[in-house]
Amino acid sequence: MAVREILLYPKDRTALRAKSHPIHNFNRQTKHLIEDLKETMLAHYDGIGLAAPQIGVHSRVVIVCLGARNEWDHEAGTPTALVDPEIIESDDERKDFDGCLSFPGLYGETIRPHYLRVTGIAEDGKPFDRILAGFDAVLVHHEIDHLDGILFIDRIESLDDLYRVYMDGNGKPVRVPISEIVPTIRLTDMAE
């Protein structure tokens, strides 16, 4: 098992945009992939979710720390894997905080469902069918998006909703809108 390199946008755009293939047969290789994803995510202080394509593996496997209140919540639960996750129902779409390990320091407000029913295979190899609510639903939706090559910048409606976050002298996060950093930027520049 190993900490793997996380692919970054836009450098690894092609890999991050590619669609991932179903696992179908949960085997030792799947377990190794799950362990690599967990180790890689745990190596990143601000990570609460990671999808296999972000380490260059185009298989439908994601890791999520459920129970987080938001991206800054490091009290979230231990990471758990969702294999071949499929959204059966989604509801309660609202704007919420979003960020991604493939976009270091970039955050935004995206519209995502806050209610999801998801089926798939759990990390013990057994099928699951579970309801996710609140930020758990947002997080799982973000990670499943990765499996289809969809990135959080695709769900940003306005540049005003996209910002960099810096830590001030007291370690408090400060938001600076991206339009203040790069005044000429357009949304299409981001997502292309």
Hey, which residues are catalytic here? 143
How many residues lie near Ni ion (CB under 5 A)?
A: 1
The residue from 63, 68, 100, 153 that contacts Ni ion (CB under 5 A) is 100
Contacts of 1 (CB under 8 A, 6+ apart): 32, 35, 36, 39
Q: What is the nearest approach in angstroms of Ni ion to the Cβ of residue 170?
A: 28
Looking at the Cβ atoms of 100 and 137, the one nearer to Ni ion is 100
Looking at the Cβ atoms of 26 and 190, the one nearer to Ni ion is 190
- Taking the complex as a whole, the smallest distance from the CB of residue 183 to Ni ion amounts, in Å, to 26
DSSP string over 74-136: TTPPPPEEEEEEEEEEEEEEEEEEEE-TTSTTEEEEEEEEEEEEEEEEETTS-EEEEEEETHH
User: Cβ 155 to Ni ion, closest distance in Å?
Assistant: 11
For 91, the token pair is 């509801």
Q: Point out which residues bind Ni ion (CB under 5 A).
A: 100
